[in-house]
């Protein structure tokens, strides 16, 4: 306080002492003050704080359900006759657990391969971010599909922070991929695997044979001989755009006998199954660093593509929870405990490759009964009689 008060000690008091006020009087008064509505929301709105945390957080926990659809499901570990593919086995069968190793992979951060046969198509290689050691797979109760086949649940037991993830083109990561690596069966003669490659000169696909290898976190997805396993994307730098042009396809050649003649069936599947993390906006933004408008220069994100001469192009990342009303794209994952929880329902299907001559012929001759004559029996009633009383 600025007011000075002199206090007389009790030892110095006497009948002639001057009265001294030893207390400072404080005035109590009521004064009304208006609180602005903006300040009320800014202080009291937990929703705004939650949304800010949600938008800035890029940590994902990934889990989901797999529906495995294949003739390999519950079948033999080796096949001799064509009928072996259609007779489910109880003991010693193949299933999703012993047929695949599951990895989580991301688009590779470095561009070591360049364009393929023109400037728009490029090879997209992948890098491992989680191995089968971080992947949990188990049967789900009461989850059989319409064919009576068991459904499976999966989860990765680690989190994935994608804030530092960028692909080989400098794009922010919008997808991670479940890589289902096939395990060769117990066949004599053995199964063989083929993968898709594209010729640099023409872009035509080839299907060389290969063998798989055990991968660790940080490894490139490749064959046992070190050849890259990739797909093709269509890329436009001017439009800040990329999309898958051709998927990777694995082919499994399984031997069997036709009488005493060796033959084989050919199966195919896509080993890279995407998890959608986020979307880029449909609108393309451009700015120049020489522009005198400070706000426009500051709006350039660090992942924008440099077109040269100070020109940049980019697309914004759509906010979590926002669904574009025109395109319908967007994601709205739950945000709890500083994580975005991504649930995905997947279908892993291995289907016959009917472009393969022997496979096409085998399935064309497959009967649904051993009694061939029953297929030629003429129905006793006409279709028009359905619903009418029996004669």
Distances (CA, A) of 80 to 50, 96, 255: 60, 21, 7
Residue 3 inside a domain? The answer is no
Of 20-24, 107-111, 301-305, minimum mean pLDDT range = 20-24
Residue 225 inside a domain? The answer is yes
Could you tell me the residue range of the domain that residue 87 belongs to? 46-281+317-366
CB 90, CB 181: distance < 8 Å: no
Residue 5 inside a domain? The answer is no
Residue 254 inside a domain? The answer is yes
- DSSP helix/strand/coil, 167: coil
| Most confidently predicted of 91-95, 204-208, 274-278 | 274-278
Q: What is the pLDDT of residue 374?
A: 46
pLDDT at 1 over 60: no
Give the Cα separation of 155 and 137 in Å (integer).
7
Name, in order, each residue with C-beta under 8 angstroms of 50's C-beta and a sequence gap of 6 or more: 335
pLDDT at 216 over 60: yes
Give the Cα separation of 96 and 269 in Å (integer).
14
Write the pLDDT tens digit of every residue in 303-322.
999 898 888 999 999 999 98
Through-space distance between the first and last CA atoms of the chain, rounded to whole angstroms: 113
Q: Number of folded domains in the chain?
A: 1
Give the Cα separation of 387 and 384 in Å (integer).
8
Q: What is the pLDDT of residue 64?
A: 95
Residue 56 inside a domain? The answer is yes
pLDDT at 127 over 60: yes
Residue 351 inside a domain? The answer is yes
Residue 135 inside a domain? The answer is yes
Residue 385 inside a domain? The answer is no
pLDDT at 387 over 70: no
| Most confidently predicted of 16-25, 144-153, 340-349 | 340-349
DSSP assignment of 326-380: TT-------EETTEEEEEEEEEEEEEE-TTSHHHHHHHHT--S-S-GGGGGPPPS
Task: List alpha helices for the chain, DSSP H.
Answer: 37-44, 46-56, 96-99, 294-298, 357-364
Q: What is the pLDDT of residue 368?
A: 54
Write the pLDDT tens digit of every residue in 36-54.
665 555 565 778 888 889 9
Of the candidates 140, 137, 210, the residue with the CA atom closest to the CA atom of residue 178: 137
């Amino acid at each position: 306080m600025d007011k000075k008060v002199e206090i007389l000690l009790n030892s110095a008091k006497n009948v002639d002492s001057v009265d001294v006020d030893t207390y400072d009087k404080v005035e109590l008064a009521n004064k009304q003050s208006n609180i602005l509505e903006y300040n009320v929301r800014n202080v009291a709105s937990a929703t705004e704080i939650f949304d800010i945390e949600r938008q800035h957080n890029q940590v994902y926990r990934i889990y989901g359900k797999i529906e495995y659809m294949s003739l390999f499901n519950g079948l033999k570990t080796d096949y001799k006759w064509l009928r072996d593919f259609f007779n489910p086995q109880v003991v010693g069968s193949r299933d999703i657990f012993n047929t695949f190793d599951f990895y989580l992979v991301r688009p590779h951060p470095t561009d070591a391969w360049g364009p393929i046969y023109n400037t728009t198509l490029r090879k997209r290689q992948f890098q491992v971010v989680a191995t089968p050691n971080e992947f949990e797979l188990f049967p789900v109760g009461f989850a059989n599909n319409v064919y009576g086949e068991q459904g499976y649940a999966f989860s990765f037991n680690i989190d994935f922070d994608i804030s530092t993830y960028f692909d080989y083109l400098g794009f922010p990561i919008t997808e991670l991929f479940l890589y289902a690596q096939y395990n060769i069966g117990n066949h004599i003669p053995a199964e063989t695997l083929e993968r898709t490659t594209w010729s640099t000169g023409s872009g035509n696909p080839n299907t060389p044979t290969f063998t798989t290898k055990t991968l660790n976190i940080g490894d490139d997805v490749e064959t046992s001989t070190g050849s890259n396993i990739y797909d093709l994307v269509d890329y436009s730098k001017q439009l800040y755009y990329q999309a898958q042009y051709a998927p990777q396809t694995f082919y499994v050649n399984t031997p069997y006998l036709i009488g005493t003649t060796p033959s084989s069936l050919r199966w195919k599947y896509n080993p890279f199954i995407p998890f959608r993390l986020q979307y880029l906006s449909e609108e393309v933004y451009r700015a120049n660093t020489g522009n005198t408008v400070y706000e426009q220069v500051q709006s350039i994100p660090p992942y924008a593509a440099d077109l040269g001469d100070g020109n940049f192009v980019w697309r914004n990342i759509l906010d979590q929870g926002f669904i574009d009303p025109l395109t319908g794209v967007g994601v709205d994952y739950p945000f709890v405990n500083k994580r975005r929880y991504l649930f995905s329902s997947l279908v892993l299907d291995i289907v016959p490759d009917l472009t393969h001559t022997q496979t096409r012929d085998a399935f064309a001759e497959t009967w649904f009964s051993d009694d061939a004559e029953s297929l030629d029996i003429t129905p006793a009633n006409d279709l028009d009689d359905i619903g009418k009383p029996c004669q």
